[in-house]
Amino acid sequence: MSVEHIDKLADVLLAINKGEVSEEEAGRVLGGISEVELSLAEQRLLERGVKPEELRGLCAVHLQVLNKEVEDLKKKTGPGHPLYTLVSEHDRILGFLETLDKAAKLVLSRPAYAESDHQLRAALDDIKNVAYHLVETEKHHAREEEALFPAMEAKGITGPTRIMRLEHDDLRPRKKALYELISRARIEDFEEFKKTLSEIVSYIGFNLRDHIFKENTILYPAAYKAIVEPETWDEIKARSDEIGYCCFTPGHEVA
Ligand SMILES: [Fe+2]
Ligand SMILES: [Fe+2]
């Protein structure tokens, strides 16, 4: 893979992101490149000063191509493979975020807190449950940062892993803040509570989904392509086992 090739790909990617290329042409280009090339080209754009959030403007065709990658990746790896476990955890986390959105919507619709409002109390319980699980995702991030990313970095994929680490650091205090907010013994000021809840939920909802999307469709496929030695995957698995799993990890659930 030559430097010129990646540079050219980065130019095309930028044009696609700006909407300067027809959907048909974009589909043809993106359908024909590998995840490693995509990853390296995006890394090149970041090096050129393109902001990570600008790369989020992936067009519809790009999304279609990439969503298919996740399903393919699950088929190619199978249960027990570190990437399969990480993708399965993402599925669970996306489910938690959906519950969180619904419960927060109900809470925000209430003008006042009332002990007798069973729906409200159930929604608050749901939020507490989700918040606990989101804090549990730290073990998922730790497996990424300490088992998977170093092996990718050894293959020269350093830009995307750096961004993922920054996003973990950014999300960590917000997940804790949600847990602390919802774990308070009593809600003193319901309006204030709703305001803080709304801010944290929308921040986590958008950014964690975006983070998962990037990992599922760009980072993990790139890892699968770049790490070809079975013994390296064995090492990643062994290190992952040492770090441990979340209480909701499929196959590792804690009753
Ligand atoms: Fe991550
Ligand atoms: Fe992840």
- The predicted-structure confidence for 18-61, as pLDDT tens digits, reads as follows 778 887 777 777 777 776 777 788 788 888 888 766 765 554 55
Average per-residue pLDDT for the chain: 89
How far does the centroid of ligand 1 lie from the alpha carbon of residue 144, in Å?
A: 6
How far does the centroid of ligand 1 lie from the alpha carbon of residue 191, in Å?
A: 33
- The predicted-structure confidence for 136-193, as pLDDT tens digits, reads as follows 999 999 999 999 999 999 999 999 999 999 999 999 999 999 999 999 867 889 999 9
Which ligand lies nearest the alpha carbon of 220? 2
Listed residue (220, 200, 184, 230) closest to 90, CA to CA: 220
- Judged against a pLDDT cut of 80, whether residue 102 lies above it is answered with yes
Measured in residues, the chain has a length of 255
How far does the centroid of ligand 2 lie from the alpha carbon of residue 176, in Å?
A: 17
Percent of the chain scored above 90 by pLDDT? Answer: 64
How far does the centroid of ligand 2 lie from the alpha carbon of residue 202, in Å?
A: 19
How far does the centroid of ligand 1 lie from the alpha carbon of residue 208, in Å?
A: 9
How far does the centroid of ligand 1 lie from the alpha carbon of residue 94, in Å?
A: 13
Domain boundaries, the chain: 63-243
Express the helix, strand and coil content of the chain in percent, nearest 5 each: 80, 0, 20
Q: Any residues with CB less than 8 A from the CB of 242 and at least 6 apart, and which?
A: none
Query: CATH number for the 63-243 domain, one of 3.40.50.1820, 1.20.120.520, 3.10.20.600, 3.40.50.620?
Result: 1.20.120.520
Q: Report the predicted TM-score, pTM, of the whole model to 2 decimal places.
A: 0.76
